[in-house]
Amino acid sequence: MKKLTAIALALICVLTLAACGNTTEKDKAFVCGTVTDNVFESEFSGFRMTVSDGWVFSGEEEIMEMMDFTADSLSEILSDREAKNLELSKQKTIYDAMAVDQNTGSNVIVMYENMSASIGGSKYTPDSYADALEDQLTEAGAEAGMDYSLKSKETIDFCGYEYLSVTWEAESQGITLDQSYLLRKVGDYMLIICISCVPQTGVTLDSIMDMFESLEA
């Protein structure tokens, strides 16, 4: 089961989509989130995530290396929050936080797509973004031996904001993976919260979503 969720984690980390969305909260400058102990907080997107026992966050350096920052540039960027925000704001795909349950392999990725970095990006909505995501998941899943199927697609209120919630089910070697994508436009960026779990472990998408709350709560 952990192997299946590890594959799913790898899949979302290589997905790159065309930019999307009718702008809301326009002109909001990007600010990266922060991790303190077991809490991730995003002032930019207005929520915090407090992980349960057994969950661990990826380190800043590990995440920055995934975005192809070199070791020579990391020390300067990571020591200066303003410099980090500036460098991240230039990236097409930004990974802001990653957390994994070491016991079950369940995981959460908080990431952004820079809509201004793609030609015609402003023409897309969260709904059309989800359609493009489905195409890529289907293709990438097939290459990894995972069969993706759409379970639900709905607008929800989450942490005080409206999100498009899209949930897929993936099957591989008799194991079922549930994976939800919560999509919302923030400034020039599409916020994507990707949540993955294997129901057979007793962890549900809802139980992971319960770890989130509005900063105004």
Edge-to-edge strands, sheet with 34-36: 34-36, 39-42, 47-50, 212-214
- Highest averaged pLDDT of the listed ranges 37-46, 121-130, 169-178, 192-201: 37-46
Alpha carbon distance 201, 198 (integer Å): 6
Alpha carbon distance 85, 99 (integer Å): 20
- Give the pLDDT confidence score for residue 143 in this predicted structure: 79
Which pair of tokens denotes residue 98?
A: 């990653």
| Length reported for the chain | 217
Q: Are 44 and 30 in contact (CB under 8 A)?
A: yes
Q: Is the dihedral of CA 154, 46, 57, 53 positive or negative?
A: negative
Q: Is 70 helix (H, G, I), strand (E, B) or coil?
A: coil
Crossing angle (nearest 10°) for helices 81-89 and 71-79: 120
pLDDT tens digits, one per residue of 73-121: 777 788 888 888 888 888 888 999 999 999 998 999 999 998 887 766 6
Give the CATH superfamily of 2-57+92-212: Mog1/PsbP, alpha/beta/alpha sandwich (3.40.1000.10)
Sorted by where each begins, the domain ranges of the chain are 2-57+92-212
In this prediction the pTM is 0.87
Q: Are 99 and 58 in contact (CB under 8 A)?
A: yes
Between 67 and 102, residue with greater pLDDT: 102
Tally the C-alpha atoms within 13 A of residue 156's C-alpha that lie toward its C-beta.
15
